[in-house]
Structure 1
Amino acid sequence: MTTNETLAQYSDWAFRSAFTVLVLALVLLIVQYASTRAQAVQDRELVSAGSGARPAEAPSAPGRVVEQPKKPMSERFGGMGAAVLVVGTVLIFASIVLRGFATERFPLGNMYEFVTMACAAALVVGLALLSKPAYRSMWVFLLVPVLILMFLAATVLYADAAPVVPALRSYWLPIHVTIVSVGSGVFLVSGIASLLFLLRMRYPRGEEGTGVFARIAERLPDAQTLDRLAYKTTIIGFPLFGAGVILGAIWAEAAWGRFWGWDPKETVSFIAWVIYAAYLHARATSGWRDTKAAWINVAGFVAMLFNLFIINMVVSGLHSYAGLN
């Protein structure tokens, strides 16, 4: 099995282009986020001055061109940011597909490729669930961890396009690793939603605040919306991740002769799955639905990050095939 260096180079270029485009999207959405507050302040000043209602416009004379009101700056920048997000998502998927063709295998054989797939999944889930203009403010907080992960993938975790080690030359690779990486991307959206929910609960809408966090929170959707989003995404990610753990155990029996051996990767994956199960149970239990359940979801998010970086990069085990050792 050989590597097509030209396609591998195109894959790297697509990844770098996706990173650049997503940075541009982040800038546009930050401008949208900031201008939303400026527009809200202006509207409050007009209301306090008694000018909240617009005067009735005189009927237009025949042949007179009536100018259409311009869209607010926040809406214009938000629309541009959303369009650029789609371009960035297409480019990151292009980098995944090109690497697969370059190596003539499924492109999930190392940490670089795994993190790329997880970021792509998070972007797709975000585009599906945060498409409404009212949710665009959340993209600022979702894009930051996605860009950090992409930066780490392109620097610390990067591995040249090459055939995988013999242990990964199995039909289980595209099944097990794809499900786990997509589930990780979904949990990224869920974790960010819970963190923003906790921030919104700390600074409810309408509460006057002068601190940085208070100013950030007042632009977010209401707490109930954020809580529903965290729950909805966990409902999607939980069975995916659970199926990935089960399929991994089946693959382990075929590769190593046992279903479960309490390998560090297996152990922390199981712990993360149990934490998310506890979140779903707490979310349905009276007295735990608000901040207590959200903190459990955040704990699951932390366990996922620990499993992704510390276990793969520091702890040695049977899953130490990430291209870093």
Structure 2
Amino acid sequence: MSLIDFSSDAFIVAFFLYCLAFTFYGVAVMGRRFRKREPEAHTAKWGKIAFYTAVIGLIAQLTYFVTRWIWSGHVPVSNMYEFMTFLSMAIMIAFIVLYILYRKSLLGLFALPLAILIMAYAAVFPQEVQPLIPSLKSYWLGIHVTMAALGDAFFAVGFVAGLMHLLRTVNFGSSDKSSRREQRWLEFCMFMIVVLIGFIVSVYSFRAGGYHAEFSQMKWNEETQQEQVVTVDYDMPPIVAPYDSQAISVQSFIGMQDSFFEAPSWMHGINAARKLNTVLWSVFSGLILYGLLRAIIRRPLAKMIQPALGRMDPDDLDEISYRAIAIGFPIFTLGGLIFAMIWAEVAWGRFWGWDPKEIWALITWLFYSVYLHLRLSRGWQGKHSSWLTVIGFIVVMFTLVGVNLIIAGLHSYAGTD
């Protein structure tokens, strides 16, 4: 077995250990309902088992990270697969730090699924070790990206605690206008999580079925100053095909062999339509999955989850959320801004260039600056603070994923097409 194969196996082991730890946290939190005697002892016992399982999973993921680093010769954070796997590992590190501080088993019941989802999402991208482009061949790659991701990981745990606070405090028994608005927005958050799950399920389902479609398009080559034929592969049935393209081969899927639409002319780049196609499939599968869940449980998802948080102190959740962001903010400031600007000067000869990723990193920093200001100076706590953590995490995920996959720029490198 080669080192890279061992690295991949360690990643898979970590994934299943996290799933097992999540199950144990479920037993710790949910099982206490069936323990009439000593429910606290039951929670403590299974919470400890879950925590140690998660720690062993983190060790396995660290093994993946180190062995892939040795094999590739550079810090494995240079493309979307490597970055998202590192982000999931950083979320586990942030979770363990916060768990040691607060000893709340329920936090694991929400933080671990986030890490698991990000690991599953990472596996959607090409997993081969890819050579670095010239601008990435620097020790600043490891310093800037890892610290920025670690800061984002603490923001993610802050989001988890904030979402738990909202699930705990939103009044589903009230029908006044303010409560209904909170209920709708909270359920929308749950829907977006289901959309992500639906996307992952769709990708793996079509891959397991061996689906493939291919299109060709004429593209102007700036180097040769001539037109050339380029192709794009689809792993999901094409709802949207590239603009002015020809279908080379399209497998039939419930009558969709020739029933796709052509992308509008303003969507430049042959991969733009494929990305839009992925978004459409994500929403479509998310709607189906959400509809099935609603049909089974016959009530909003947020309302179903709320009873599980009944014993959790809202003030504790609010404090955990704030503490996570307070830890993550200086880390992100160093990694996402200061070290990033130093590396930009080394790589491109300027500290700031208004690249889309740079702009959104600044927006992220400004948002959490406002959050901390409102929290410390204006006394924004409770629901106000929790809603800000949810919005902040949306900004973080768009910065990490949306910019790389939607907006072209200097940071849209390997593994994003």
Give the TM-score normalised by structure 1.
Answer: 0.82
Task: Identify which of 146, 167, 185 aligns with 1:199.
Answer: 167
1:302 is displaced (CA, Å) by 0.8
Sort the Cα spacing of 1:23 and 1:254 in 2 relative to 1 into closer, same or farther, 3 A: same
Q: Percent identity?
A: 35
SS of 1:246's equivalent in the other structure is: helix
Task: Identify which of 228, 233, 237 aligns with 2:319.
Answer: 228
SS of 2:166's equivalent in the other structure is: helix
1:134 is displaced (CA, Å) by 4.9
The answer to whether 1:251 aligns with 2:336 is no
Task: Identify which of 322, 329, 336 aligns with 1:238.
Answer: 329
The answer to whether 1:131 aligns with 2:127 is no
Task: Identify which of 266, 274, 292 aligns with 2:358.
Answer: 266
The answer to whether 1:304 aligns with 2:396 is yes
Aligned to 2:135: 167
CA-to-aligned-CA distance 1:128-176 (integer Å, 9 cap, x gap): 221378501110100111100000112x224312332221001211111
Q: Distance between the aligned counterparts of 1:132 and 1:109, measured in 2?
A: 32
* Paired letter, 2:164: L
Q: Distance between the aligned counterparts of 1:249 and 1:131, measured in 2?
A: 33
1:72 is displaced (CA, Å) by 4.5
Task: Identify which of 166, 178, 182 aligns with 2:150.
Answer: 182
Aligned to 1:8: 4
Taking only aligned residues, the RMSD between alpha carbons, in angstroms, comes to: 2.3
Aligned to 2:234: none
SS of 2:100's equivalent in the other structure is: coil
Give the ranges of 4+ consecutive aligned residues of structure 1 lying more than 6 Å apart after TM superposition: none
Sort the Cα spacing of 1:122 and 1:190 in 2 relative to 1 into closer, same or farther, 3 A: same
CA-to-aligned-CA distance 1:221-245 (integer Å, 9 cap, x gap): 3111111111111111111111121
Aligned to 1:150: 119
The answer to whether 1:17 aligns with 2:13 is yes
CA-to-aligned-CA distance 1:240-283 (integer Å, 9 cap, x gap): 11112121112112222221121111111111111101110111
Sort the Cα spacing of 1:7 and 1:38 in 2 relative to 1 into closer, same or farther, 3 A: same
Contact 1:312 1:322 in 2 (8 A): no
Q: Which runs of 5 or more residues in structure 2 are unaligned? A: 173-298
SS of 1:117's equivalent in the other structure is: helix
* Paired letter, 2:132: V
SS of 1:159's equivalent in the other structure is: coil
The answer to whether 1:31 aligns with 2:122 is no
CA-to-aligned-CA distance 1:279-311 (integer Å, 9 cap, x gap): 101111345223222222221111001111111
Aligned to 1:99: 68
1:85 is displaced (CA, Å) by 0.7
1:27 is displaced (CA, Å) by 1.2
Q: Distance between the aligned counterparts of 1:158 and 1:17, measured in 2?
A: 19
Aligned to 2:215: none
Q: Distance between the aligned counterparts of 1:213 and 1:162, measured in 2?
A: 42
Sort the Cα spacing of 1:225 and 1:167 in 2 relative to 1 into closer, same or farther, 3 A: same
SS of 1:130's equivalent in the other structure is: helix
SS of 1:181's equivalent in the other structure is: helix
* Paired letter, 1:262: W
1:76 is displaced (CA, Å) by 3.2
Q: Distance between the aligned counterparts of 1:77 and 1:229, measured in 2?
A: 21
The answer to whether 1:122 aligns with 2:91 is yes
Contact 1:199 1:213 in 2 (8 A): yes
SS of 2:413's equivalent in the other structure is: coil
CA-to-aligned-CA distance 1:203-225 (integer Å, 9 cap, x gap): 59xxxxx9523312214x31111
Aligned to 1:66: none
Task: Identify which of 279, 299, 303 aligns with 2:371.
Answer: 279
Sort the Cα spacing of 1:78 and 1:257 in 2 relative to 1 into closer, same or farther, 3 A: same
SS of 1:268's equivalent in the other structure is: helix
Aligned to 2:59: 90
Aligned to 1:112: 81
Structure 1 range deviating more: 156-165 or 135-144: 156-165
Q: Distance between the aligned counterparts of 1:239 and 1:84, measured in 2?
A: 30
Q: Distance between the aligned counterparts of 2:27 and 2:357, measured in 1?
A: 40
Q: Distance between the aligned counterparts of 2:168 and 2:385, measured in 1?
A: 15
SS of 2:338's equivalent in the other structure is: helix
* Paired letter, 1:123: M
- Tell me how many residue pairs correspond in the alignment: 287
Task: Identify which of 305, 308, 313 aligns with 2:405.
Answer: 313
Aligned to 2:383: 291
SS of 1:316's equivalent in the other structure is: coil
Map of 1:61-100 to 2, 5 A cutoff? 72-100=41-69
Sort the Cα spacing of 1:314 and 1:91 in 2 relative to 1 into closer, same or farther, 3 A: same
1:75 is displaced (CA, Å) by 3.5
Contact 1:28 1:81 in 2 (8 A): yes
